[in-house]
Structure 1
Amino acid sequence: AHIITAVIGSGVLSLAWAIAQLGWAAGPAIMLLFALVIYYTSTLLAECYRSGDPETGKRHYTYMDAVRSYLPGTKVKLCGVIQYANLVGVAIGYTIAASISMRAVRRADCFHYHDVRGRSGKDSCKSSSNPYMIVFGVVQILFSQIPDFDQIWWLSIVAAVMSFTYSTIGLGLGIAQTVANGGIQGSLTGLSVGPGVTSMQKVWRSLQAFGNIAFAYSYSIILIEIQDTVKAPPPSEAKVMKKATGISVATTTVFYMLCGCMGYAAFGDAAPDNLLTGFGFYEPFWLLDVAN
């Protein structure tokens, strides 16, 4: 549950856009490549949890503890800077994603309100995401004051269920749209160079697609902290972690493939950057509210 919670984040909803940039040929292949890379690097990192003997050696409770046991001073500082820069970046990303989701709920309800009553003035549904960012930030600060918040065992289970819920909703809406279209959209090479899309824009969008897929798999930075929750041997934590990582990466990759490919099949090269907040869909509004 810890690993699935860490892996499946809001990045899953941008995979349709990523595949749209790369096409049917390269998109799924790149996703499989990143799955193999994250699994391989995670197995290597799992071996770093203990120094010496894999069952009785000294434990390293955090990523930085593990780094200190294998690398000298300057490299430790460099790894620390990289880790915390990554965590800050991820925190900023999720703050923005949360604010966009909250704004999407308001916008979907506003659109539905005008449609039901036959009223015009949908331009009034536009709003800024800044207030929502502030609200989310304040709530996070309050939650961070809870003692031993990371030790609440059921929290990861709830988070994993929530992740699967909004991902499944996005998948279901993609399938529904594909059926409504009467066929599969998209091409082997993805977004084509032509009017409105220059060669340089194609390159940059492809690189951004790589980044989106990589972000969707970025959990190894907290793998040691997750491994520290594994019960003591036998077997060693590394063996348990490798097995858990394999199951989790396989599960999430299948889910990623389904969500990304069905989103691309539904919208083709016009796939939104987020299936739920990019408003590829407006109805059913209550389902979008639940997902966001």
Structure 2
Amino acid sequence: MGEEEIFEDSRAPLIQDPLRRTGNLQKAVAHIITGVIGAGVLSLAWSVGELGWIGGPLMILVFAITTFVSVDLLSDCYRFPHPQYGNIRCPSLMDAVHLYLGERKKKVCGVLVHASLYGATLAYVITSATSIRAILKSNCYHKEGHEAPCKYGDAVYMMLFGLVQIIMSFIPDLHNMAWVSIVAAIMSFTYSSIGLGLGITTVIENGRIMGSLTGVPAANISDKLWLVFQAIGDIAFAYPYSVILLEIQDTLESPPPENKTMKKASIIAILITTFFYLCCGCFGYAAFGNQTPGNLLTGFGFYEPYWLIDFANACIVLHLVGGYQIYCQPIYSAVERWCSKKYPNSGFVNNFYQLRVPLLPDFQLNLLRICFRTAYVVSTTGLAILFPYFNQVLGVLGALGFWPLAIYFPVEMYFVQRKIEAWSRKWIVLRTFSFICFLVSLLGLIGSLEGIISEKLS
């Protein structure tokens, strides 16, 4: 294979070179599940409710298949020019786009990637505060009754979550985060299983399956369409992880070839997440029908056992602590990399200082890292306080990132790598696939933006 290179744009100043990659199938699955099963799973019962018994499960399966196609195409782009024998690694989606599609599309991709990553961390701040507030409400309802006016604000809990993230942001990079992903993945399974179990129990107690084929009725056709589009955006947010796929793949040891390990990990992770998504979404809707809450564990479809609701929401918060880092670390790395190249002689950017803390490993502190990462967390926390609309924000984020990042760029790079001729059968199939996904993404974006405007004005 010859001497390997890391694409020059990707050399992060905070990662020692040569980098020792020790990732394996299990760690990759943990990273994917941490990145995928997050805030999105809690909105799926509401999404199934808006789409109905036919459209809801069908859309979940369609997005699962679409995500796997995207992963299959993108994981082959990690090495350039050959998927297994190429001697240049692309540790991020932006780097791959730069090599395969050129500088102009790399800039467009960069804006979308960082907007998607930033948006995901914003959603995690919103969800964390919602879950903390749900714990307080659960205890209040248990003591005072279900009709008690148990009202709590969001801002304080968002700021507490932000403070924790400032501390967590001292983790140097994604290569040092396997333990965070494993803990977060366990938390994902825990609260998803609790939501599923409570949904099944409620269906049994009701003695019948709630809901209808057409979903929750609306006042008029236009309102129904807006909600359907928003539900599609929510499901889109729950699935694709193309924006962090190559970062995860860059942690894998070789042999075996990284693309083969990544595809196996993706199959396992997508099957697991799809099973949980179908179960949580369908049993949640079956339990509550037209009264299905926007967030299954915090919307108080469930009140008892209150301690289990508390535990589930605590698991959500712990998962979000790790999930936030999975999505913000690539932004940290990109900014620090750019500053290091732009200001190679700056002590503020490049100097490191050793900090020794009793009973803990030594820390290497960097002034740029402290200032930028703190400012980043403060900005996501501030925006979350201004726009604390769970379902609508998820819908916008899912719709914005789904088509360009999960479909368009992987398809275009596949054409270049495999030298697919225009108007060949494979070219037509993938172009049609991309166009359909574009329409779905556009509808989700329109519906979710309408939802945010309506909430803000109401």
| Range into which the TM-score falls when normalised by the shorter chain | over 0.9
1:146 corresponding residue in structure 2: 171
* Mapped partners of 2:163, 2:79: distance in 1: 37
* Mapped partners of 1:10, 1:92: distance in 2: 11
1:204 corresponding residue in structure 2: 226
State the TM-score, normalizing by the size of structure 1: 0.93
* Partner amino acid, structure 1, of 2:137: R
2:245 corresponding residue in structure 1: 223
2:100 corresponding residue in structure 1: 70
Q: 2:31–2:178: 8 Å Cα contact kept in structure 1?
A: no
2:77 corresponding residue in structure 1: 48
1:86 aligns with 2:116: yes
* Mapped partners of 2:58, 2:162: distance in 1: 37
* Partner amino acid, structure 2, of 1:122: A
**Number of aligned positions between the proteins:** 283
Deviations 1:95-152 (A, max 9, x none): 000000011111111222224xxxx9932x2011011111111111111023346513
* Mapped partners of 1:228, 1:146: distance in 2: 17
2:272 corresponding residue in structure 1: 251
Deviations 1:215-256 (A, max 9, x none): 1103111000011111112x3111111111111111110111
- Find 1:131's aligned residue among 138, 145, 156: 156
* Partner amino acid, structure 2, of 1:6: G
* Mapped partners of 2:234, 2:54: distance in 1: 17
Deviations 1:262-289 (A, max 9, x none): 0010011221111110000111111111
Deviation at 1:56, TM superposition (A): 3.3
1:174 corresponding residue in structure 2: 199
Deviation at 1:55, TM superposition (A): 2.8
* Mapped partners of 2:43, 2:189: distance in 1: 15
Q: 2:43–2:294: 8 Å Cα contact kept in structure 1?
A: yes
Q: 2:39–2:123: 8 Å Cα contact kept in structure 1?
A: no
* Partner amino acid, structure 1, of 2:259: A
1:100 corresponding residue in structure 2: 130
* Partner amino acid, structure 2, of 1:89: G
* Partner amino acid, structure 2, of 1:153: A
* Mapped partners of 1:163, 1:207: distance in 2: 26
1:23 aligns with 2:56: no
1:3 corresponding residue in structure 2: 32
* Mapped partners of 1:77, 1:121: distance in 2: 53
Deviation at 1:199, TM superposition (A): 1.0
1:122 aligns with 2:144: no
Q: Secondary structure at the match of 1:240?
A: helix
* Partner amino acid, structure 1, of 2:102: P
Deviation at 1:37, TM superposition (A): 0.4
* Mapped partners of 1:103, 1:192: distance in 2: 29
- Find 1:262's aligned residue among 279, 283, 303: 283
2:181 corresponding residue in structure 1: 156
* Partner amino acid, structure 2, of 1:210: I
User: 5+ residue gaps in structure 1?
Assistant: none
* Mapped partners of 1:37, 1:276: distance in 2: 27
* Mapped partners of 1:269, 1:213: distance in 2: 19
State the TM-score, normalizing by the size of structure 2: 0.60
Higher relative contact order (CA 8 A, sep 6+): 1
* Mapped partners of 1:254, 1:160: distance in 2: 15
* Mapped partners of 1:93, 1:152: distance in 2: 21
Deviations 1:49-89 (A, max 9, x none): 00023333211112221111112222111100000011111
Q: Percent identity?
A: 53
* Mapped partners of 2:147, 2:173: distance in 1: 48
1:112 aligns with 2:112: no
Deviations 1:145-200 (A, max 9, x none): 2334651322211111100100000001111111111110011111224xxx2211
* Mapped partners of 2:226, 2:304: distance in 1: 32
Deviations 1:14-72 (A, max 9, x none): 11110101111111111110000000011111011000233332111122211111122
- Find 2:259's aligned residue among 227, 232, 238: 238
Q: Secondary structure at the match of 2:253?
A: coil
* Mapped partners of 2:83, 2:109: distance in 1: 23
1:214 corresponding residue in structure 2: 236
Which structure: larger Rg? 2
- Find 1:61's aligned residue among 91, 95, 98: 91
